[in-house]
Chain A
Amino acid sequence: MVNFVWLGMMVIGVLVAGFNGHIEVVTKAALEGAQIGVQVALDLIAIITFWLGIMKLAEAAGLVRALARLVQPVTTFLFPSVPREHPAMGAIVMNLSANILGLGNAATPMGLIAMQELQKLNRGDPKTASDAMCTFLALNTSCITLIPTTIIGIRLIYGSADPTEIVGTTVFATAAGMTVAISADRLFRYIYSRGR
């Protein structure tokens, strides 16, 4: 699927630029895209290093385990293949909490830690996503958001009379998305496991 989307964007992009007679934008756009990719990764070094340190402290203090135990009924239902006390569970819980609070910057490094822990549990081919990884990413990309911080800021800048009035509609939309994400993940997992 990612191969198909990637190829599609590339081929259609180049062809459209050619037909429109401005083929020169392709090279420029490609280089710009590459530059942004590297820039994002470099920006991530600082924040990932920082949060990895804090995470290790939280883990050593027993905080991660405490939080994970609190939401255990939900997580054991969602991640049947992850052992209850495994560090992956703690990282997953921290990542989702940060997402719910709209703290994208804090969510990413914890999500990456969760992926590393899930990879350790991956019994299949190390280049193929495990069931738990697919569930985690379905949740991660559709997670309920209580505080959409960035867009509230944008609304404030452009003089909204009530910048937070979209919080209610956002919570509704994310709740719908998350419900469907969990169902879709289960459904596709079932279809895929039968396909083999």
Chain B
Amino acid sequence: MFGIVSDLSRWAIPIVLLLVPLIAAARKVNVFETFVEGAEAGFATAIKTIPYLVAMLVAVSVFRASGALDYMVVLFSPVLSAIGMPAEVLPHAIMRPLSGGAALGIATDVVKTNGPDSFIGRLVSTMQGSSDTTFYVLTLYFGSVGISRYRYSIFSGLTADFTTLIASIYVCHKVFGS
């Protein structure tokens, strides 16, 4: 299983890089010029995201460094035991929608401390694999086209994140016991 999975991830991009230019050439496209023409917009697109990313990451960073995140963990721990969620994974659940790097850091730490094959290790792995950094994605994607009014998209994103979290806890209890 792991063989197929890692082969697939390893081959996917090289195959795209092989097939796309070949097929384009077969259809009489000027491959080099077309690539450059498309790539031209890359710099501007990336630079446009800076103010949005800085705004969001400053707030997340201050919130975490101040210790406010740790208080949130203490505050919510009674609720957690009711839904079968170990307190160890709460910082991950909070950080996941905010910062991919920070969430991955927490997941790594939890896997290292509890062992990858412990219930907590498997649960945090499932949580890490199943959710995305909603705030980061919204900030980056909307930022890149200059949109500052997100309407309801944060609500739908967080509703989905919460469902994924509950589903992770449920399925891990079912599959891995504990």
Contacts and interface: CB of A to CB of B under 8 A. Distances in A.
Interface of A: 1-2, 5-6, 9-10, 12-14, 16-17, 20, 22, 25-26, 28-30, 32-34, 36-38, 40-42, 44-46, 48-50, 52-63, 99, 101-103, 106, 108-109, 111-112, 115-116, 118-119, 125-129, 133-134, 137-138, 140-143, 145, 147-152, 154-155, 158-170, 172-174, 176-181, 184-185, 188-189, 191-192
B38 interface: yes
A33 B54 contact: yes
B12 A173 contact: no
Contacts of A152: 2, 5-6, 129
B20 A133 contact: no
B125 A166 contact: yes
Interface of B: 1-2, 5-6, 8-9, 12-13, 16-17, 20-21, 23-24, 26-27, 29, 31, 34-43, 45-47, 49-50, 53-68, 71, 101, 104, 107-108, 111-112, 115-117, 121-122, 125-135, 137-142, 144-157, 159-161, 163-164, 166-168, 171-172, 175-176
A112 B45 contact: yes
Nearest to B50: A41
B9 A127 contact: no
A155 B12 contact: no
Contact of B137 (A141, A165, A168): A141
A194 B90 CA distance: 36
A56 B35 contact: yes
Contact of B167 (A1, A127, A172): A172
B contact face: mostly helix, strand, loop, or mixed: helix
A10 B67 contact: no
B17 A29 contact: no
A contact face: mostly helix, strand, loop, or mixed: helix
B2 to A, nearest CB: 5
10 contacts: A2-B135, A49-B46, A52-B41, A57-B29, A103-B12, A133-B142, A137-B142, A141-B157, A147-B5, A150-B129
B62 A56 contact: no
B65 A138 contact: no
Given A169-B122, A170-B130, 17 more contacts: A33-B59, A33-B62, A56-B39, A57-B35, A128-B151, A133-B141, A137-B141, A141-B137, A142-B131, A142-B160, A148-B125, A158-B116, A162-B117, A169-B168, A173-B168, A174-B130, A184-B155
